Amino acid sequence: MSVAESVPAAFTINPLSPALGAEVVGLDCAQPFDAETMARLREAFQHHHMLCFRAQDLSDAAQIDFSRQFGPLEGLPEKDKTKGRREVYNVANVSVDGEHLPEDDQRVIFQRNNARWHTDSSYRDIPSLASIMYGIEVLPDGVEGGETGFSNMLRAYEALPAEMKRKLEPLHQVHSYGEIRRLEPQMPAMTAEERDSVPPVTHPVIRVHPERGGQRSLFFTSNTSLEIGGMTLAEGRELHRWLVEWADRPEFCLYHRWREGDLVKWDNRVLLHRAIPYDYAAYRRVLRRTTVAGAGPILGPFSNAVRDGLA
């Protein structure tokens, strides 16, 4: 082995806030990582939950290669939001051909739905492990909006009043991709094929993490259904409103202001995120997302594996 191959990459990891997040400076994500770099990144991801790799220059293919180092990728259920390959999701108010879209275009309306706290692909039986988003065109300095907000659900769970922890313990939320259409009524109905590929699922509201020695976090979303099993719709809505306000508390949150070339990887198992709205007509914003698939179903306090002491 040559000396160059045996020397691990020199890069620094700097925390971005007390709540979550760190920036990685001096690492080229277009190159495959050696084992030591992977180990450092894995540890940093476990600790900070969100890593922002600065100053990257990545093609679609390079982003896919980078992302696959962390596991198999998800494909999107709808063809029209991808760039021809279902693993690459165009998060933009600009078409894949570069046209700045009108505000009433369904692709822009879909972006607005991202403004609610959520975790990616929670509408699947096995929701995603991580999302990876690359900043291609970002809002100029001084312009309002366009950040991605993150909220740390490990901290949010820890800080809950004991009575609320008890109340949430047995609850499950219904997650339904089709509900996005109800929340954004201007969107066209899904085709039967799309609907059949993503039937509603339920997940525990308290998530137990085997990879964290059984530590717990909150797990809920507001961009799909607001139904909570065992409650009337009105009770579920009220509880949901309370949870959303709780997730908003500044001590759990980081608002990431994008720089061109940022590549942000976040942990969908323990964070919620949201897009902060901006003036869609005046500014272009182009990000590109890949999504690492989850490793198994979501465990709650009453899952068999937890009860049997495996988590």
Where along the sequence are the contacts to ligand OGA (CB under 6 A)?
91, 114, 120, 148, 273, 275, 287, 289
Structure tokens at 24: 């990685």
Task: State the minimum distance, in angstroms, from the CB of residue 133 to ligand OGA.
Answer: 7
Closest by Cα among 177, 151, 176 to 272: 151
Task: State the minimum distance, in angstroms, from the CB of residue 188 to ligand OGA.
Answer: 19
Stretch that binds Mn ion, among 61-69, 88-96, 115-123, 209-217 (CB under 5 A): 115-123
Judge contact between 82 and 91, C-beta under 8 A. Answer: no
Taking the least distance from each CB to Mn ion, the nearer of 148 and 202 is 148
Segment holding 132, helix H or strand E: strand 130-137
Task: State the minimum distance, in angstroms, from the CB of residue 91 to ligand OGA.
Answer: 4
Task: State the minimum distance, in angstroms, from the CB of residue 105 to ligand OGA.
Answer: 16
Judge contact between 91 and 287, C-beta under 8 A. Answer: yes
Taking the least distance from each CB to ligand OGA, the nearer of 51 and 287 is 287
Taking the least distance from each CB to Mn ion, the nearer of 24 and 271 is 271
Segment holding 10, helix H or strand E: none
Taking the least distance from each CB to ligand OGA, the nearer of 165 and 181 is 181
How many residues are present in the chain?
311
Judge contact between 198 and 77, C-beta under 8 A. Answer: yes
Taking the least distance from each CB to ligand OGA, the nearer of 105 and 238 is 105
Judge contact between 203 and 298, C-beta under 8 A. Answer: yes
DSSP state of 306: H
Structure tokens at 260: 């061109």
Residue 286 site contact among ligand OGA, Mn ion, none (CB < 5 to 8 Å, cut-off depends on kind): none
Residue 287 site contact among Mn ion, ligand OGA, none (CB < 5 to 8 Å, cut-off depends on kind): ligand OGA
Task: State the minimum distance, in angstroms, from the CB of residue 275 to ligand OGA.
Answer: 3
Residue 91 site contact among Mn ion, ligand OGA, none (CB < 5 to 8 Å, cut-off depends on kind): ligand OGA
- Contact between 267 and Mn ion per CB under 5 A: no
The HSE-up count of residue 144 (CA atoms within 13 Å, CB side) is: 3
Place of tokens 């078409």: 95
Taking the least distance from each CB to Mn ion, the nearer of 27 and 272 is 272
Phi, psi for residue 127 in degrees, rounded to 5: -65, 165
- The angle subtended at Cα 220 by Cα 216 and Cα 223, nearest 5°, is 160
- Contact between 120 and Mn ion per CB under 5 A: yes
Taking the least distance from each CB to Mn ion, the nearer of 87 and 120 is 120
Task: State the minimum distance, in angstroms, from the CB of residue 100 to Mn ion.
Answer: 22
Residue 289 site contact among Mn ion, ligand OGA, none (CB < 5 to 8 Å, cut-off depends on kind): ligand OGA
Positive or negative, the Cα torsion across 103, 278, 132, 121? negative
Task: State the minimum distance, in angstroms, from the CB of residue 153 to Mn ion.
Answer: 14
Compute the distance between CA of residue 67 and CA of residue 120 in angstroms, rounded to an integer. Answer: 15
Binding site for Mn ion (CB under 5 A): 120
